[in-house]
Amino acid sequence: MKQAVFLGAATALITPMHPDGSINPDEMKRLVEWQIERGIDALVVCGTTGECATLSREEHLQAVSCVVEQVAGRIPVIAGSGSNDTAFSIITSKEAAAIGADALMSVTPYYNKTTQDGLIRHFFTIAEASGLPLIVYNVPSRTGMDISLETCRKLSEHPLIAGIKEASGDVAKVSRIIASCGSELPVYSGNDDIAAPILAMGGKGVVSVVSNLLPGEMADLCRRGKNNDL
């Protein structure tokens, strides 16, 4: 059984910015500290909520550095490094690893709509280049591509593929993933509104947007789920 990168609630952090569009590191550090004080279990920086698709390489590096520095090892930091460009994902993944991120999160390549085999190679290449555990991110409503159950099984066999953030909204599919390979592919809800049923089915937690505002409440929901007290 693979060890999960985190258990419970991880906030998909916003990226605070100045009026001119540049990153505001002081506000980001303040947000990170408040999240930790409220009991959040992990943080995801440069994910969809953090506007990763519009950040430059330099901004990505700045945001990840800021969060890693402020967290200082207290909770896991997961760096979003997803792109439809495998080579660019490798660059940002290696930089995140060098900075001290604990794991990566990588979305399916959007727009390109690769084959399932191409998708597997994309994720394996990124994970192997960085050496960090990688959580794959399935959100077909945004990317136009859905990770199949068979692909989940194949991904679960790689030692560095550390989980899946499932945001398809298909609870029945999530239950099949958990039943088929959940011990080797920890499943996290990518939707706040179905976090509770996914926890009840054996999911390991949630990557949450609403926890930018309610970190303690989301962490408590996950603890209750773990204790069968939903």
Task: Name 72's Cβ contacts closer than 8 Å, sequence gap at least 6.
Answer: none
Whether 111 is catalytic: no
Q: Which two tokens stand for residue 159?
A: 């030692």
CB atoms within 10 A of CB 157: 11
CA neighbor of 101 nearest in space, from 54, 69, 59, 123: 69
Q: Which two tokens stand for residue 103?
A: 């794991």
Catalytic residue from among 29, 111, 137, 154: 137
In whole angstroms, how large is the CA radius of gyration of the chain? 16
Alpha carbons 123 and 67: distance in angstroms, whole number: 24
What is the torsion angle, in degrees rounded to the nearest 10, for the CA atoms of residue 116, residue 76, residue 179 and residue 164? -20
Whether 110 is catalytic: no
Task: Name 21's Cβ contacts closer than 8 Å, sequence gap at least 6.
Answer: none
Catalytic residue from among 154, 165, 188, 204: 165
Active site residues: 137, 165
